[in-house]
Amino acid sequence: MRRSTGQKIFNVFNILFFAVLGSMMILPFINIIAKSFSSSKALENGGVTFWPVDFTLVNYHYVLQDTVIWRSFAITVYITVVGTLINLVMTSLLAYPLSRDEFVGRRWVLLMVLFTMIFSAPLIPTFLLIRDLHLMNTLWVLMIPGAISAFNFFIMRSFFGEIPKEIIDSSRIDGCGETRLLFSIVAPLSKPVLATMSIFYAVGHWNTYQAAIYYINNRALYPLQVRLREMIVTDEFKMDASADVVDLALLSSPEGIKMVVIIVATLPIIIIYPFMQKHFVKGVMIGSVKA
């Protein structure tokens, strides 16, 4: 296809614009990686940009032997996996019946869900409710209150609504109950939207910070993001009593340790996303094309 001069100029402008935009996003991460492999002296002098100076692995050795950081990492992995499963199940259980025309009163339920999307609950009533439900200082407080996202619910409901009614009716004629229909018929046909919702929910759980600050006082239950905040803001490092870790702390630098923890907190999502990208692209196209 032949392109006009204006289209060629526009394409060149787009390429340059997104190249600059992509560089603005990737260069800070490259700088973090370079600092994580640099010596404490190089970091103190501020001479590290995009390449390690005085290459060392001491910062990584420290983090690998710091049980406090790895406990927070394990907590974050737990709430991400379990919380995402809870999100998918609960959102599906609400979205499926509200996607069917035969559901009586679905308009009123949709209005109530939409209301929660527009007007969020105030902090103090939410805090009092969570306290009365005895969820304070438990990991459930990071998963149960946000079990259903109104935004994700409407995306999933739109996808369920596009499943041909004939498939649903034929399954019912064959004696398939509603629960089995959802998990055996609808769910396998909804892999793109489920993968998309998994990414949305998992990233939200992985980056859990505000809820942990509000509702968790037990430091042993702090997720990784809260632990990282403590390290960055207060320069507070908790070590075990082993001599090896103490020696590593003397050789490493607080700045380098922070950079390593940032990498640990970011790398898992970066690794997982490419495997979910195909389904993610299909999922975000839901509702963009109408017949």
> Each residue of 189-228: pLDDT tens digit?
887 888 888 888 888 888 888 888 888 888 888 888 888 7
Of 76-90, 113-127, 170-184, the range with the lowest mean pLDDT is 170-184
Do 45 and 96 share a domain, yes or no? no
Do 121 and 104 share a domain, yes or no? yes
111 pLDDT higher than 60: yes
Confirm whether 73 is domain-assigned: yes
**Tally of structural domains, the chain:** 2
Do 18 and 161 share a domain, yes or no? no
Q: Please answer whether residues 252 and 60 qualify as being in contact, where contact means their C-beta atoms are separated by less than 8 angstroms.
A: no
238 pLDDT higher than 70: no
Confidence of residue 286 (pLDDT cuts 50, 70, 90): low
Do 63 and 28 share a domain, yes or no? no
Do 9 and 65 share a domain, yes or no? no
CATH code (residue 220):
1.10.3720.10
Do 15 and 50 share a domain, yes or no? yes
Do 25 and 141 share a domain, yes or no? no
Average pLDDT over residues 246-272: 71
pLDDT digits (tens, 9 = 90+) for 44-74: 777 777 888 778 788 787 777 777 888 888 8
Q: Residue 34 belongs to what domain range?
A: 1-56
Do 49 and 187 share a domain, yes or no? no
Do 43 and 170 share a domain, yes or no? no
pTM of the model: 0.75
241 pLDDT higher than 50: no
